[in-house]
Amino acid sequence: MTISKEVKIGFSSLVILVLFVWGLNFLKGSNLFGKDARTFYVRYHDVKGLGTSSKVTINGLVVGRVLDISFDSSPNNRGDLVVEFRVDSDFTFSNKSLIKIYDESIMGGKALSIIPSYDGEDAVKGDFLEGTVQLSMLSTMSDKLTPMSDQIQNLLLKLNATLDGLNSTVFNERAKKNMQNILDDMSSSAGYLKETMSAINNKMKPEGDLDKIIKNTAIVSEKMVVIASDIENAKIADLSLKMRKTLDNTNTLLESIASGKGTLGKLMTDDAMYNNLKNASKELEEMLRDMKLHPKRYVHFSLFAKKEKPYVAEPSK
């Protein structure tokens, strides 16, 4: 059986067409020759540059592709974007799983990551799952650096204003003139100081007045050291002995007082003696007060011998 040229051309064209359609769908993320895939949907307000044929991963493993991204036409979610994606794996997860948009690399490119949850019912083909977006590294750094940039800008503005005020108040003509006068005075003072140091240097030369004073002071100091040493050696032993005897006597006296010996010891330790002395002092004070108020009770004075009249107490006032 001979196959005509037209049949060969037609068969070849069909094969090429099938390969073309398969390759196009493969690039879009569809696999015509693969096993049955599950299709899910997720809604986002902003897909952050996610495109069709983007990867769908679970724990970093590619399990599918994004099939389509379209606007939601429902009145309640008008303007939102619905992402349709396919999962080729038979891995099961619940309908409470999250679908996260994340950066594939620091150079860019977005992908979907399924964060599986196992609570609730298993997700089935056609379910709408909850979506979330992970901020990129650059976005995170930008969010953190923006407040810092504002603070640095405010600081620079304040610093600029401070320098302007300092320039207008300190570095004006009057201040510059005063500064020049201060520098001139410092220069003059430096000259005087140089002359003074030169004079002192001349006095400090060998055989100078200051050198002689220093030598004489050293001699007197040596003699004073010798005298002090002699006095110390002669007197320190005797003084130490006398101080020790004095301390011993003082300790003996304090021990006697503490043990109640002697008048002072009894006074310090015997409460009855202290109370008697206190009562006697009080009675003596009362007697002296009565003598001052009624002296006739105690003293009788007369130039001629007369019979003493009996004492009659004065009526109390």
In a domain, 257, yes or no: no
Q: Are residues 92 and 54 in the same domain?
A: yes
Domain extent, residue 70, equals 35-134
Question: 91 and 12 share a domain?
Answer: no
Looking at the structure, tell me whether residues 42 and 126 fall in a common domain: yes
Which residues have C-beta within 8 Å of that of residue 35, sequence separation ≥ 6? Answer: 88
In a domain, 89, yes or no: yes
Asked if the structure places residue 216 within a domain, the reply is no
Task: Write phi, then psi, for 40 (nearest 5 degrees).
Answer: -125, 165
Are 48 and 125 contained in the same domain?
Answer: yes
Residue 177 located in a structural domain: no
- Same domain, residue pair 30 and 64: no
Does the residue 307 lie in any domain?
no
| Contact by Cβ (8 Å): 166, 133 | no
In 3-state terms, what secondary structure has residue 179? Answer: helix
Task: Please check whether residues 19 and 39 belong to one and the same domain.
Answer: no
**120 residue type, one letter:** G
Total-model pTM: 0.39
Q: In this structure, are 39 and 130 located in the same domain?
A: yes
Does residue 5 share a domain with residue 47?
no
Q: Which of 83, 105, 134 is the endpoint of a domain?
A: 134
**Two tokens, residue 57:** 């991963």
Residues 26 and 65 in one domain: no
pLDDT per residue as tens, the chain (317 positions): 577 777 778 878 888 887 877 676 666 555 544 556 799 999 999 998 899 989 999 999 999 999 999 998 888 888 899 999 999 988 999 999 999 999 987 777 899 999 999 998 999 999 999 999 987 666 556 556 666 777 777 777 777 777 676 666 655 677 677 777 887 777 777 777 777 777 666 655 555 565 676 777 778 677 777 766 766 665 666 777 787 888 888 878 777 777 777 776 666 666 776 777 778 888 888 888 887 787 776 665 555 555 555 555 555 55
Flag whether 144 is in a domain: no
**Do 8 and 19 fall into the same domain?**
yes
50 and 120 part of one domain: yes
Q: Are residues 54 and 126 in the same domain?
A: yes
Tokens of 156: 């620079």
Q: Which of 134, 162, 186 is the last residue of a domain?
A: 134
Considering its fold, how many domains does the chain have in total?
2
Last residue of a domain, one of 134, 152, 177: 134
Q: Read off the pLDDT of residues 287-311 as tens digits, 9 standing for 90 and up.
A: 888 877 877 766 655 555 555 555 5
CA distances from 82 to 44, 51, 52, 204, 232 (A): 6, 12, 12, 100, 108
- Please tell me what DSSP assigns to residue 19: H
Write out the two tokens for 238: 């005797």
**Rounded distance, CA 51 to CA 17, Å?**
26
Any domain includes 54 = yes
Q: Is 277 inside a domain boundary? A: no
Which DSSP string corresponds to 171-190? SSHHHHHHHHHHHHHHHHHH
